[in-house]
Structure 1
């Protein structure tokens, strides 16, 4: 379910000049904020939690997911280049799974690693906060990549829909509305961080078993649906 040529083309598309600048911008902002906060306030577990949850998990990770997830396939569908790939003797499910693996790798590299580094900058991994949030960001990367890849297959406005989801649902509603938190990828990843963190610094409204099940269901479900929609995409000349 992995095709090297598809992977290479996807990496090139995602790490092109314009998209690479966007991918670097958010992690750099997180690290700059972390350095400034550490210089001004010193090491503090609560402050580290606030920044890593309030900016990294609720804003940076989903936005990086939008850029990489939709960019893995959306532009090819928009400009029609996807027909050349679909015309090759490659299973469409293989195309989706390969693009998903690449998108997950890119999202994790540009979100989980910076989150881990920011945690060490902020409090030197006190209460295991840096590792907890780094792993949580990696877990969230998988779900976000799958969700936004599916959006890239479903609509030509995937970036707009993805931004609305990331900024409104995950960053606002998922933090404020109690009932909506159960359906937030951020809260599912926070359940993982809560398990790995020490003390009561990190908390989630969703239990770990529920979070793991929901993460798996969303990832598998969106990936399957993306593959299904791609299989039904008609090429020119097809009946």
Structure 2
């Protein structure tokens, strides 16, 4: 199937409108703005330092900002329509369910990457001028993590009305807390999978990931495909339930 057959412009336009509404847009802009403000302040106070740059980009950008934006983009792409029942009107249109999901995922990924990877890259240049490729490494990690987060949280948006809460628990408790403290949990952390790629891009010793690059890339792909597949299945189930 051609790629253009998996993307529906009208669905995309409606999804963008919902994601970039006043309330969500405020949060989407606030997080990158905070990262940039922190980066500018640190650079002004302490100058350029590779370790500091890695700590800020890894500790705030990748560990906190990226998953939070993923929650907003992923759940916001479809969750509100299911909650308020307006998804019925969308499902009544002659659009295949997997096309709806792929279109919404594409929009969610675009929003997530724009509001996470781009600010991460800029913050990295502010912090240390991309010394040891740290800015580029973390920006790429933010981008690939955004893809997986968007798919995971889009799926959550189809299965529970509390998708935002579930996403926040995963992002802040599992990823940021357990993922940094419990060795076994790191293997099941999107953050660590993305860090494996960042480690390959950055200079020697600049970034340390807890999983290997092949494993990290494999798990990122599996999470993205699985999230998309099960979200499409759930949407088909909702359609059938509505027609019975």
Name the TM tier (shorter chain). Answer: over 0.9
Distance 2:180 2:109 in 1: 24
Work out whether 1:77 is the aligned partner of 2:82.
yes
Question: In structure 2, what is the Cα distance between the partners aligned to 1:235 and 1:85?
Answer: 14
User: In 2, distance between residues paired with 1:22 and 1:126?
Assistant: 30
- Counterparts of 1:231 and 1:125 in 2: how far apart (Å)? 46
Report the TM-score, using the length of structure 2 for normalisation.
0.97
- Aligned residue among 86, 102, 106 for 1:101: 106
Q: Give the alignment of 1:18-167 within 5 angstroms.
A: 18-167=23-172
**Root mean square deviation, CA, Å:** 0.9
DSSP-derived class of the 2:95 partner: coil
Give the length in aligned residue pairs. Answer: 239
Give me the whole-angstrom Cα distance separating, in 2, the residues matched to 1:149 and 1:176. 27
Q: Structure 1 residues 98, 237: CA separation in 2 closer, same or farther (over 3 Å shift)?
A: closer
CA distance in 1, matches of 2:130, 2:103: 34
For 2:99 and 2:169, locate their aligned partners in 1 and report how far apart those are by CA, in whole Å. 29
Q: Which residue of 1 aligns with 2:229?
A: 224
User: 2:189: which partner in 1?
Assistant: 184
- Cα distance between partner residues in 2 of 1:41 and 1:128: 20
2:21 is aligned to 16
The alpha carbon displacement at 1:234 in A equals 3.7
Once residues 212 and 172 of structure 1 are traced to their aligned partners in structure 2, the CA distance between those partners, rounded to angstroms, is 22
Structure 1 stretches of 4+ moved >2 Å = 234-237
Matched, 1:195 2:208: no
Is the contact between residue 128 and residue 197 of structure 1 (CA under 8 Å) also seen in structure 2? yes
Q: Structure 1 pair 51/235, CA: closer, same or farther in 2 (3 Å)?
A: same
Distance 1:7 1:26 in 2: 24
Query: 2:217 corresponds to which residue?
Result: 212
Task: Please tell me whether the aligned partners of residues 187 and 211 of structure 2 are also in contact (alpha carbons under 8 angstroms).
Answer: yes
1:169/1:23 CA distance change after superposition, 3 Å: same
Distance 2:241 2:170 in 1: 33
**Long gaps (5+) in structure 2:** 1-5
Whole-Å separation in 2 of the counterparts to 1:211 and 1:11? 30
Specify every segment of 5 or more residues in structure 1 that has no aligned partner in the other structure, as ranges.
none
Is this contact kept in 2: 1:83–1:235, CA < 8 A?
Answer: no
Separation in structure 2 between the aligned mates of residue 39 and residue 201 of structure 1, nearest angstrom: 22
Cα deviation for residue 235 of structure 1 reads 6.6
- What's the CA shift string for 1:129-152, capped at 9, x where partnerless? 000000000000000000000000
CA-CA distance at 1:236 after TM superposition: 7.8
